[in-house]
Amino acid sequence: MAKVNQRPWRAPGQRAKRKAWGYTVQVDGTQKRVYKAGWTRDDAEKALAALLLQIEQPKPKPQGLTLAQAAERYLITKARKRSLGEDKRILEHLKSALGMDTLLTDLTASRISEYKNSRLAALRKSGAGGDAIERRLTAAAVNRPLALLRHLLRLAHEEWEVLEVVPRVRLEKEPQGRLRWLSQEEINRLVDAAGKSRNKELRAAVVIALNTGLRLSELLGLDWIYVDLSRGVIRLEITKSGRRREVPLNDDSYRALVSLGPKVEGRVFQTRFIKTAYNNAVAIAKLDDVNFHTLRHTFASWAVMRGVTLKELQELLGHSSLTMTMRYAHLAPEHLRTAVGRLEGLTNSRRAETPTQGSTQEPSALMRSSQNSSK
């Protein structure tokens, strides 16, 4: 409640009291008092009226950021992100599709849905020349720009405070992809083709990837200062999970590294065209549906089939959680068979006693007592 009144006051160091006109008012839940010795009642009323008018007038809403401005700010915010190059490519696509001068406030759920539907209906050519086939975009290809846009809009709302409401962005459900890994015969063909490549580093890269499960980015970023041949390990300082980890070398990966001519420092792989050379080797080896990441799946699949536990595999691959590693669980029936094997003999007793309610005996103890009593 606002009111104008006169109240006594005393100047510092003086005993005599004076009276001053002023006002008291609530502003945003806080009581505000303003009194001045030179004011008359009329002055106080005018000052209060001006303040109330200022409070009642809605503040002009800022125009806000355009998509282009938000994209630039996003790239500054994420400057240390490892996949920044891919983010730049996606942002260029979004600016082209939605309009670089479009205000973030104009990116409503309806408009985003229209963009998504246009992507779902779009066709793209795969293959070359006369063998090119038109295919619809996969759910993953549709989702990547949408996921980045959703994250950008949340930043604009939560951190930049330039967006009052975040529109809903619905992603397409992505089917679980087929886990492609190489058979022994396919591995042999690929290694042979890599050995015949004009890229003299390709064979070593393939052998190391197959025996360590390193990603292509981890291989290409590997420096000799992080290769400890005396201990037989590779130290990865920057990983996808954000944690350092050590990768042990077996004989094959050790020899592959030695073949590259160990140095004190510098990049292990000097060429930038390993991916191109690899794709050529895949074509020569006549392998279908294979990319460089297939080597990581191959490492993991063969490791599990040869008895490596899922927990050990999680550490070798550097997965932050076991959930990612569980995709290889179907290749490890032995760990389930071993678990079930612990119940061996449970129903093999001729006169096994049934544990009574409240019994503190273990089932194995009950079975032993049953067997002893039957002798």
Q: In whole angstroms, what is the distance from residue 103 CA to residue 306 CA? A: 56
- The predicted pLDDT at position 358 comes to 44
Which stretch of 37-41, 58-62, 192-196 has the lowest confidence by average pLDDT?
A: 58-62
CB count, 10 Å around CB of 154? 14
- The predicted pLDDT at position 334 comes to 64
Classify residue 250 by its DSSP letter.
-
> Which runs of E-coded beta strand occur in the chain?
3-9, 18-27, 30-36, 123-126, 133-136, 227-228, 233-236, 245-248
**Tens digit of each residue's pLDDT (9 = 90 or more) over 322-373:** 888 888 887 776 666 776 777 777 776 554 455 444 444 443 443 344 444 4
**Tens digit of each residue's pLDDT (9 = 90 or more) over 27-53:** 877 888 888 888 999 998 999 899 888
Structural tokens at position 263: 């140095």
The pTM score is 0.56
**Tens digit of each residue's pLDDT (9 = 90 or more) over 112-164:** 999 999 999 998 876 555 656 788 888 989 999 999 999 999 999 999 999 99
Structural tokens at position 75: 């790239």
Q: In whole angstroms, what is the distance from residue 272 CA to residue 103 CA? A: 39
Checking if the pLDDT of 224 tops 80, the result is yes
Q: Which long-range contacts (CB under 8 A, 24 or more apart) does 274-277 make?
A: 274/199, 274/201, 274/202, 274/205, 274/216, 274/219, 274/220, 275/216, 277/194, 277/197, 277/198, 277/199, 277/202
- The predicted pLDDT at position 129 comes to 59
